[in-house]
């Protein structure tokens, strides 16, 4: 009697596993089977005795040298006599009714050429899906060990070392053949620790940007190369990457940066060495992958505020010296300028420069402010103007986009996302520490945050019952909040609500009047846009739903603050947050009073040179209400002012209009872009929020604000040129 099922088992050094596999086959309810074992050149040679003692007929074919699994399977196919065939791995274990269930699936579905089940690889379960040829072109979801109709089986590609199964089923699909999915786990494979044909790693392992590190583990490199071979052979789309791999990469980077910063605060003498080491790591990544190098730099902006977590040449309390942000800046520009990328710069930048003369005009305006400051003998010219150096990053960034050789958007968005998570975690942790009786930990934490330039922790009430946790980089949460506010179609509901609720909490925790006003302006525009949409579409359902979910997110943010503030361990200080909010808007409060005292003095100095300006480094002297200054009885002199637009007018004169023109240009580029309309509105509203915030706290002339604007234009430009979808 001819066998109903032929089972072909290639074996390479898995003699013990083979015996267990044969034992599971011997227990099958379907008894009409034959087994063909192919010894593919094992050193521990498989013997005929290993196949004896079972109820089924077993045949051994031995190769003197290893020929590979595809060749072995094809040899087994040539020797098979059954109506059906299974290509089984030697370490497989099957439930007793596995073959019977698979045969029934093909009998019930005569249109199907093969039946495939769910399977388990070690501890990892893999669930299939209904057969879909298009989905198969994206990734494989079928294991080699399926039940095939023998007369529809094809040969394996013997040139392939990996993904022979994916290639096999792609070939079947191209011939119009289909499979039927059996939603049961009918195959279990051992995870092989020794040399073998299969190994499983989490999918994110392959999505880590190894090329940026400059080293790829052998197995992963082999996997990626094999994946590329299959995609090239079948003209498939590039492999889709998960965000987790990129996220882990940037998370490890920020973890390294924080670890180095902690060590530098504990051992100040190590500050310079650590700054150099971290910069060298950054430089290597930038050299290997400029897009990831920029993303590393951007992630520091989202958490580092002043850019001085590490420094070269700083004193024991981290004052003075060259900050890590400056080191990254010089390393990035240096590698770009002196590398091969400069040699092709003009090829890719000529059109961009013609289209963006505003950048050159802005740089010339800044140069004018520097020269004007020197001409008028201002004392702090370079210290005042150096923030604008960030503008130079626009040139290498746009070259990367124009070359179309790097996806700059993906690592940038991943880095910003991880940075936002770290920023939020740090903000909440600090709020928790200073809203509770955490004792001796408060002083060293305060010194760490202050000396690292990460943020400010300020006592709101004299009894210490409430502190303000302000991190300058929280401005990026303002941008995230505003963008999420508008992007109700582009972002998933969960992501949008998460950004809005966490953003609400962080903005409130910051107790920043400027943030409140900037967000208030954006919210006002959002309400008007919702009303306009309702009138235009004559449909109130969608706008009301968006307003409703946004309100829920805001309430969730406030509840999150309450949970943090009143969590009973350790005892809460129970400071009244509502009183603190009112206190922050009280013009009699010291910081607010100082700001209003500065305004007339600043206006008076502007009036002296309203057109030509007084140049960078221009100082103004006024009587500050800051208790630390007031206690000395002296007036306060500074070149850095809270009134941002007044600051620019004072120093650049009519040149402030060029800064506004730059922001309008970027806004117009976003407006003209092809990105989603709601996301477009969100980005424009974020720039509006920045403009309003800058009126009271300088961000447009701060690296945090300048880079944010550049990244917005980079995003829309990259989306247009590289067809990136985020």
What mean pLDDT do residues 81-103 have? 95
Contact 674, 720 (CB under 8 A): yes
On the question of pLDDT at 406 being above 80, the answer is no
Find where tokens 């240096």 sit.
334
pLDDT single digits (tens) 528-541: 998 888 888 777 77
- Looking at the DSSP assignment, which residues form a beta bridge with residue 436? 572
- C-alpha 21/C-alpha 31 separation (Å) is 15
What mean pLDDT do residues 450-463 have? 86
What mean pLDDT do residues 278-303 have? 96
The pLDDT, as a whole number, for residue 632 is 62
Closest CA to 138 of 200, 223, 230: 230
Q: Is residue 679, in this structure, part of any structural domain at all?
A: yes
Give the count of domains, the chain: 2
The pLDDT, as a whole number, for residue 586 is 53
What mean pLDDT do residues 569-582 have? 64
- C-alpha 86/C-alpha 143 separation (Å) is 11
The pLDDT, as a whole number, for residue 114 is 98
Closest CA to 709 of 391, 270, 322, 380: 391
Picking from 177, 199, 221, the residue at the C-terminal end of a domain is: 199
- C-alpha 423/C-alpha 417 separation (Å) is 10
Q: Is residue 376, in this structure, part of any structural domain at all?
A: yes
80 or 340: which carries more pLDDT confidence?
A: 80
On the question of pLDDT at 585 being above 70, the answer is no
The pLDDT, as a whole number, for residue 588 is 45
Q: Is residue 595, in this structure, part of any structural domain at all?
A: yes
CB atoms within 10 A of CB 581: 15
Which range scores top for mean pLDDT: 114-123, 187-196, 470-479, 710-719? 470-479
Picking from 175, 199, 223, the residue at the C-terminal end of a domain is: 199
On the question of pLDDT at 196 being above 50, the answer is no
Q: Is residue 541, in this structure, part of any structural domain at all?
A: no
pLDDT single digits (tens) 611-631: 999 999 999 998 776 665 555
Q: Is residue 514, in this structure, part of any structural domain at all?
A: no
The lowest-confidence range among 123-132, 336-345, 704-713 is: 336-345
- Quick one: pLDDT band at residue 195, thresholds 50, 70, 90? very low
pLDDT single digits (tens) 464-520: 667 889 999 999 999 999 999 999 999 999 999 999 999 999 999 999 999 999 999
CATH number, position 164: 3.90.550.10
DSSP assignment of 275-319: HHHHHHHHHHHHHH-HHHHHHHHHHHHHHHTTT-SSEES--TTS-
CB atoms within 10 A of CB 561: 18
Mean pLDDT of the chain: 89
- Could you tell me the CA-to-CA distances from 689 to 285, 596, 667 in Å, in that order? 33, 21, 12
On the question of pLDDT at 194 being above 50, the answer is no
61 or 634: which carries more pLDDT confidence?
A: 61
DSSP assignment of 30-86: ---EEEEEEEES-SS---GGGG-SSSSEEEEEEESS---HHHHHHHHHHH--SSEEE
Q: How far is CA 162 from the centre of its chain?
A: 30
- Percentage of residues of the chain with pLDDT beyond 90: 69
Q: How far is CA 621 from the centre of its chain?
A: 44
- C-alpha 191/C-alpha 176 separation (Å) is 33
On the question of pLDDT at 150 being above 90, the answer is yes
Closest CA to 29 of 87, 128, 98, 93: 98
State the number of CA atoms in the 13 A half-sphere of 497 facing the CB.
13
Burial annotation 643-663 (CB, 10 A radius, 16+ → b, else e):
bbbbbbbbbbbebbebbeebb
The pLDDT, as a whole number, for residue 631 is 57
The pLDDT, as a whole number, for residue 35 is 95
Phi and psi torsions of 586, nearest 5°: -75, 120
What mean pLDDT do residues 302-319 have? 94
The pLDDT, as a whole number, for residue 535 is 83
Q: Is residue 429, in this structure, part of any structural domain at all?
A: no
- Domain extent, residue 132, equals 5-199
For residue 341 the two structure tokens come to 């990328």
On the question of pLDDT at 576 being above 60, the answer is no
On the question of pLDDT at 722 being above 90, the answer is no
DSSP assignment of 350-377: HHHHHHTHHHHHHHHHHHHHHHHHHHTT
3-state secondary structure of 411: helix
- C-alpha 547/C-alpha 553 separation (Å) is 10
Phi and psi torsions of 646, nearest 5°: -65, -40
Contact 639, 619 (CB under 8 A): yes
- Percentage of residues of the chain with pLDDT beyond 70: 90
- C-alpha 274/C-alpha 251 separation (Å) is 18
State the number of CA atoms in the 13 A half-sphere of 700 facing the CB.
32
pLDDT single digits (tens) 540-571: 777 788 888 999 999 999 999 999 988 888 88
On the question of pLDDT at 439 being above 80, the answer is yes
pLDDT single digits (tens) 325-381: 999 999 999 998 777 555 555 555 566 666 778 999 999 999 999 999 999 999 999
The pLDDT, as a whole number, for residue 723 is 52
For residue 556 the two structure tokens come to 């969730």
Picking from 199, 219, 234, the residue at the C-terminal end of a domain is: 199
The pLDDT, as a whole number, for residue 242 is 83
- C-alpha 169/C-alpha 154 separation (Å) is 10
Q: Is residue 392, in this structure, part of any structural domain at all?
A: yes
Q: Is residue 34, in this structure, part of any structural domain at all?
A: yes
């Amino acid at each position: 009697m001819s066998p109903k099922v032929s089972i072909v088992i290639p074996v390479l050094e898995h003699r013990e596993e083979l015996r267990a596999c044969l034992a599971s086959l011997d227990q099958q309810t379907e008894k009409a089977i034959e087994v063909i074992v192919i010894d593919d050149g094992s050193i521990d040679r498989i013997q005929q005795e290993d196949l004896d003692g079972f109820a089924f007929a077993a045949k051994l074919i031995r190769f003197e040298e290893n020929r590979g699994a595809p060749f072995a399977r094809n040899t087994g196919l040539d020797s098979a006599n059954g109506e059906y065939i299974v290509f089984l791995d030697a370490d497989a274990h099957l439930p007793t009714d596995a073959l019977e269930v698979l045969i029934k699936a093909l009998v019930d579905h005569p249109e199907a050429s093969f039946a495939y089940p769910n399977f388990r690889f070690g501890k990892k379960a893999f669930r299939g899906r209904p057969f879909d040829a298009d989905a198969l072109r994206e990734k494989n979801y079928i294991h080699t060990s399926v039940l095939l109709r023998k007369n529809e089986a094809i040969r394996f590609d013997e040139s392939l070392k990996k993904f022979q199964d994916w290639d096999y089923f792609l070939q079947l699909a191209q011939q119009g053949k289909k499979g039927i999915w059996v939603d049961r786990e009918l195959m279990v494979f051992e995870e092989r620790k020794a040399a073998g044909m299969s190994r499983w790693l989490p999918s994110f392992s392959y999505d880590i940007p190894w090329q940026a590190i400059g080293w790829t583990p052998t197995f992963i490199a082999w996997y990626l190369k094999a994946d590329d071979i299959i995609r090239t052979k079948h003209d498939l789309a590039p492999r889709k990457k998960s965000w987790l791999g990129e996220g882990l990469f940037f998370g490890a980077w920020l973890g390294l940066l924080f670890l180095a910063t902690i060590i530098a605060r504990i051992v100040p003498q190590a500050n310079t060495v650590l700054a150099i080491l971290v910069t060298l790591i950054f430089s290597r990544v930038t050299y290997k992958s400029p897009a990831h190098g920029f993303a590393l730099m951007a992630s520091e902006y989202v958490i580092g505020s002043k850019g001085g977590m590490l420094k070269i040449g700083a004193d024991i309390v981290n004052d003075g010296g060259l900050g890590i942000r400056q080191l990254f800046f010089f390393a990035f520009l240096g590698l770009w300028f002196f590398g091969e990328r400069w040699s092709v710069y003009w090829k890719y930048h000529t059109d961009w420069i013609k289209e963006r003369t505003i950048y050159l005009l802005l740089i010339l305006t800044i140069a004018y402010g520097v020269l004007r400051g020197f001409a008028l003998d201002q004392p702090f010219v370079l210290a005042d103007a150096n923030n604008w150096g960030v503008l130079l990053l626009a040139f290498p960034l746009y070259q990367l986009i124009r070359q179309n050789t790097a996806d700059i958007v993906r690592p940038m968005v991943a880095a910003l996302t991880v940075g936002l998570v770290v920023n939020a975690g740090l903000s909440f942790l600090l709020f928790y520490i200073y809203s509770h009786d955490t004792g001796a930990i408060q002083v060293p934490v305060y010194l760490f945050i202050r000396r690292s330039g990460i943020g400010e922790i300020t006592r709101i009430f004299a009894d210490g019952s409430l502190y303000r946790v302000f991190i300058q980089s929280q401005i990026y949460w303002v941008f995230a909040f505003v963008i999420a506010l508008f992007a109700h179609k582009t972002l998933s509901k969960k992501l949008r609500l998460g950004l809005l609720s966490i953003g609400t909490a962080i903005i409130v925790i910051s107790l920043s009047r400027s943030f409140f006003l900037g967000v208030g302006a954006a919210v006002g525009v959002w309400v008007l846009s919702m009303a306009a949409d309702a009138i235009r579409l004559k449909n109130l359902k969608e706008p009301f739903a968006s307003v409703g979910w946004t309100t829920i997110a805001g309430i969730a943010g406030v509840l999150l603050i309450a949970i943090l503030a009143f969590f009973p361990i350790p005892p809460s200080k129970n400071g009244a947050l509502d009183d603190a909010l009112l206190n922050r808007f009280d013009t009699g409060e010291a910081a607010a009073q100082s700001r209003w005292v500065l305004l007339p003095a600043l206006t008076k100095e502007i009036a002296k040179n309203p057109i030509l300006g007084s140049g960078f480094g221009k100082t103004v002297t006024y009587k500050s209400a800051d208790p630390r200054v007031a206690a000395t009885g002296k007036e306060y002199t500074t070149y850095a002012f809270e009134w941002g637009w007044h600051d620019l007018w004072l120093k650049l004169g009519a040149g402030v209009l060029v800064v506004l023109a730059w922001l309008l240009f970027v806004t117009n580029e976003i407006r003209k872009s092809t990105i989603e309309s709601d996301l477009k509105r969100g980005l424009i509203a974020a720039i509006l929020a920045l403009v309003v915030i800058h009126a009271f706290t300088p961000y447009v002339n701060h690296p945090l604000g300048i880079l944010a604007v550049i990244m917005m234009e980079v995003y829309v430009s990259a989306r247009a040129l590289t067809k990136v979808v985020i």
